[in-house]
Amino acid sequence: MHATDAGECTLMVGSSFPDIYQRALPVLESMGRYIFHMGPLGSGHAMKTINNYVIASGLCALYESLVAGKKWGLEPQTIVDVLNVGTAVNFCSLDTVRRDMLTREFRSGFALALLVNDLGITQEFMREVGFETELPGVLRGHLRDALGVVEKCADHTEAIRGWERRVGLELKRTVRVDRIREEDFRHRLEGLNRIT
């Protein structure tokens, strides 16, 4: 089940017309748990671009850390457990890496090719706002390299295979994937309003 089906998405909305936004709000509320009016038309897309950039950054850093940690002798499951109760916690460590990558199931429902495409959009966004940065291109290159070693329709969590190939190891499948209890990270969500 996709998060929109469960009404659990975070929605970033751009609308230049407050009355239309208000009329659309009941429909948005049926799909999303957190709804943010970001500003005029295009603002939602800008925020989504930033969101996907941060996700890709965290995912790449996490994959590099898991592979480097394993080469050092650390267990990937333990690395993720430590990150999830510390300051480096993020959506990838809490959710997709635990559920889909460590188990080697690779079925989060989001294609790696789409993440590569999203980073292309990020590069365009950065150019458009006049911010020079190499990081989106570097991340896109790593993920595009990973896309070269998996099926074209591969899940984005399967990108780990690119990092594994670079260092010549494969992380073992984890059969135990304990979920971090929601109350352990609920404080991170406090202060977010359902609708802003």
Model confidence over 94-127: pLDDT tens digits?
888 988 999 999 999 999 999 999 999 999 999 9
Same domain, 114 and 143: yes
Q: Which domain holds residue 2?
A: 1-41
- What pLDDT does 101 receive? 94
Same domain, 25 and 88: no
Alpha-carbon Rg of the chain, whole angstroms? 18
Between 179 and 138, the more confident residue is 138
Same domain, 128 and 166: yes
Distance between alpha carbon 113 and the CA centroid of its chain, in Å?
14
User: How far, in Å, are 27, 70, 112, 153 from residue 90 at the CA level?
Assistant: 28, 20, 18, 25
Residue 88, in any domain of the structure: yes
Same domain, 25 and 87: no
Same domain, 87 and 112: yes
> How many domains does the chain contain in total?
2
Distance between alpha carbon 68 and the CA centroid of its chain, in Å?
20
Q: In sequence order, what are the beta bridge partners of 39?
A: 14
pTM of this structure: 0.84
- What pLDDT does 91 receive? 87
